[in-house]
């Protein structure tokens, strides 16, 4: 029988957030107010935490190794750069639209 692959700590939390984000987008589009994007994230986070706890009990979660930490730092930098560019683009769009 094939052994189950262990995922790095935090993997299931990320999956929960990724499940909640589209829920927030759909809710925001349905209600016409993008303030509800955070609601989807708030729904996805507890789902991810519950999945993480279940996986820990089943032994499917491993501790982070140094390579995981380096990768996470790189991904965090890329994410922050993309987020900054997105916010700057949005602000630029709004400034040109309002003038």
- Same domain membership, residue 53 and residue 42: yes
Same domain, 90 and 57: no
| pLDDT higher than 60, residue 15 | yes
pLDDT tens-digit series, residues 54-99: 999 999 999 989 998 999 899 999 989 998 998 898 889 888 887 7
Q: What is the mean pLDDT of residues 3-15?
A: 87
Helices (H), 1-99: 11-31, 37-57, 66-98
The predicted pLDDT at position 28 comes to: 86
Q: How confident is the model at residue 1 (pLDDT cuts 50, 70, 90)?
A: very low
Alpha-carbon distance 50 to 58, whole Å? 12
42 and 88 housed in the same domain: no
Residue 14: which domain range?
Answer: 1-63
Which pLDDT does position 94 carry in this prediction? Answer: 84
Confidence bin at 2 (pLDDT 50/70/90): low
Higher-pLDDT residue of 34 and 22 is: 22
Count of the separate structural domains present in the chain: 2
Asked whether residue 41 falls in the same domain as residue 73, the answer is: no
Q: Would the pLDDT of 32 be above 70?
A: yes
pLDDT at 3: 63
Tokens of 32: 């016409």
Nearest to 51 by CA among 93, 84, 14, 98: 14
């Amino acid at each position: 029988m094939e052994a189950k692959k262990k995922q790095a700590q935090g993997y299931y939390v990320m999956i929960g957030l990724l499940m909640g984000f589209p829920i927030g987008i759909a809710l925001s589009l349905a209600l016409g107010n993008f303030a509800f994007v955070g609601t989807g994230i708030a729904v996805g986070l507890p789902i991810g935490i519950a999945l993480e706890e279940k996986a820990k009990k089943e032994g499917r979660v491993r501790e982070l190794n140094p390579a995981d930490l380096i990768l996470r730092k790189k991904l965090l930098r890329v994410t922050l750069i993309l987020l900054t560019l997105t916010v700057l683009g949005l602000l630029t769009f709004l400034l040109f639209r309002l003038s």
